[in-house]
Amino acid sequence: MTEFFNDILFLIQRFGWTDFLDIILVSAIFYALLILLRDTEALVLLRGVLFIIILLGLLTSLVALPAFSWMINTVLPALVFAIPVIFAPEIRRALERLGRAGNVSFLNRNRNISDKQNLETLQAVISASGRLSERHHGALIVIQRMQGLGEYIGTGVPLNAEVTPELLLQIFYPNTPLHDGAVIIVNNKIVAASCVMPLSASGVLNRSPERTMGLRHRAALGISEVSDAIAVVVSEETGSMFIAQSGRMIRRLNMERMSNTLTAYFQPIKPPSAKNLWTWFLSLFNTKPDEPEKKEGGKA
């Protein structure tokens, strides 16, 4: 026991601020990786990989198996190249979130919510969403911010029209040619309708009440996961309104709360100060959605 305490005292005496910094950086990297993989299918894959590594390590260290050990030592280095392939969606999502950090303005860095045209656009979206909700007409409205949505605009029908509540109501009227799909708004214009959005890749949807949501909700979450766009969803079945942003769904929205939320998203935001830098950093990796309000049917 004395020798043990002497070893600990020796380590403490040799422990410097660079060692402390080294431990903090390594811990932060592993913490960020676990946050990114939380509630995703990649976490299951990671468990499988760790199980195989532990099993192989025990076999090669406890039992003398020369041929098997040679094969493992030859094959394992090649598996390093398989990691980017296996975890490609998670790596891409992490890089996209880091790349979008700091994109905090509405449509243009030199514009803000006080611009009259921007205010009119938001008010048109809010008004149309409320009227669509009353009529139980499903809708998906995507507002582009800093990251371009050209690849998704190309999947729809070009319009290049002014944003008005009446036009949005007409587009999403049931059984009309453009009602199925998303409307994309860029620079205060409806650039395209009936656009195809990527479905959410979040594993949360497969293990929670959110899995009962329809394709509009999944598409809204999907476009918010791969871009910094804001998606407004109106449920066809319940008339409920939702906002999707950064892979999270905001629920329990009425007209007042939707107006406040959209206005807050498109207000110019100051860069994070030293005091809240850690909170801002964690928000880049936050994938946990809001608590569900209630279950909905499969149709949206």
| pLDDT at residue 1, rounded to an integer | 66
Q: For residue 153, which of 194, 200, 103 has the smallest C-alpha distance?
A: 194
CA dihedral of residues 141, 146, 151, 152 (deg, nearest 10): -10
Are the C-beta atoms of 171 and 214 separated by less than 8 Å? no
Tell me the three-class secondary structure of the chain, residue by residue. CHHHHHHHHHHHHHCCHHHHHHHHHHHHHHHHHHHHHCCCHHHHHHHHHHHHHHHHHHHHHHCCCHHHHHHHHHHHHHHHHHHHHHCHHHHHHHHHHHHHCCCCCCCCCCCCCCCHHHHHHHHHHHHHHHHHHHHCCCEEEEECCCCCCHHHHCCCEEEEEECCHHHHHHHCCCCCCCCCCEEEEECCEEEEEEECCCCCCCHHHHCCHHHHCCHHHHHHHHHHHHCCCEEEEECCCCCCEEEEECCEEEEEECHHHHHHHHHHHCCCCCCCCCCCHHHHHHHHCCCCCCCCCCCCCCCC
For residues 148 and 187, what is the distance between their CA atoms, to the nearest angstrom? 11
Q: Which of residues 76 and 106 earns the better pLDDT score?
A: 76
Q: Which of residues 190 and 52 earns the better pLDDT score?
A: 190
Are the C-beta atoms of 287 and 202 separated by less than 8 Å? yes
Q: For residue 240, which of 167, 168, 125, 137 has the smallest C-alpha distance?
A: 137
Q: Which of residues 224 and 57 earns the better pLDDT score?
A: 224
List, in order of start, the domains of the chain with CATH numbers: 2-100 (no CATH), 116-268+277-284 (3.40.1700.10)
pLDDT digits (tens, 9 = 90+) for 169-207: 999 999 899 988 999 999 899 999 999 998 886 655 555
Q: For residue 225, which of 53, 100, 83 has the smallest C-alpha distance?
A: 100
Are the C-beta atoms of 129 and 258 separated by less than 8 Å? yes
Crossing angle, helix 215-226 and helix 88-100, to 10 degrees?
Answer: 70
Are the C-beta atoms of 225 and 247 separated by less than 8 Å? yes
Phi, psi (rounded to 5 degrees) for 95: -65, -35
Q: For residue 229, which of 173, 148, 113 has the smallest C-alpha distance?
A: 148
Q: Which of residues 142 and 111 earns the better pLDDT score?
A: 142
Residue written as token pair 């195809």: 196
pLDDT digits (tens, 9 = 90+) for 14-51: 777 787 788 888 888 878 777 766 655 566 677 777 77
* Six-digit token string for 54: 């532990």
Q: State if pTM tops 0.75.
A: no
Mean pLDDT, rounded, for 260-277: 66
